């Protein structure tokens, strides 16, 4: 996939996944890289930026027999942002669909 395109959409994926439930970094990376082919490390800058912008908050949780997990939870502000981004994305998708669909 086009890397520039992927970068923008990755943010929406991260937002939407964490809007559904809390994830810790590695878990999120695993889930996404199962479907999208990405450099796994690039998810951490996204997580950090969204956290800095108060769209996420983090908390640490010890797990039995494993390393501690830093969980990401969406904030109210994050949820609003996610809704709006998702709306824009589906509108854009529809427009592209119209364009591409015409060719068929």
Question: Which residues contact other proteins by CB under 8 A?
Answer: 25-27, 29, 33, 39-42, 44-45, 47-49, 52, 66-70
Which is nearer to other proteins, 19 or 46 (by Cβ)?
46
State the burial class of residue 14 (Cβ atoms within 10 Å of its Cβ: 0-12, 13-18, 19+). Answer: buried
Smallest distance, other proteins to C-beta of residue 35, A:
15
Cβ atoms within 10 A of the Cβ of 84, count? 10
3-state helix, strand, coil in the chain (%, to 5): 65, 20, 15
Smallest distance, other proteins to C-beta of residue 99, A:
30
Asked whether 74 and 92 are in contact (CB, 8 A), the reply is no
Which is nearer to other proteins, 66 or 103 (by Cβ)?
66
Which is nearer to other proteins, 30 or 80 (by Cβ)?
30
């Amino acid at each position: 996939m086009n890397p520039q395109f992927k970068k923008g959409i990755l943010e929406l994926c991260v937002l939407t996944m964490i809007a559904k439930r809390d994830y810790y970094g590695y878990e999120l990376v695993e889930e996404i890289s199962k479907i999208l082919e990405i450099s796994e490390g690039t998810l951490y800058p996204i997580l950090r930026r969204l956290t800095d912008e108060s769209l996420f908050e983090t908390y640490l949780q010890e797990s039995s027999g494993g390393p501690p997990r830093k969980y990401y939870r969406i904030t109210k502000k994050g949820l609003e942002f996610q809704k709006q981004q998702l709306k824009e994305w589906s509108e854009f998708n529809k427009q592209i669909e119209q364009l591409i669909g015409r060719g068929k």
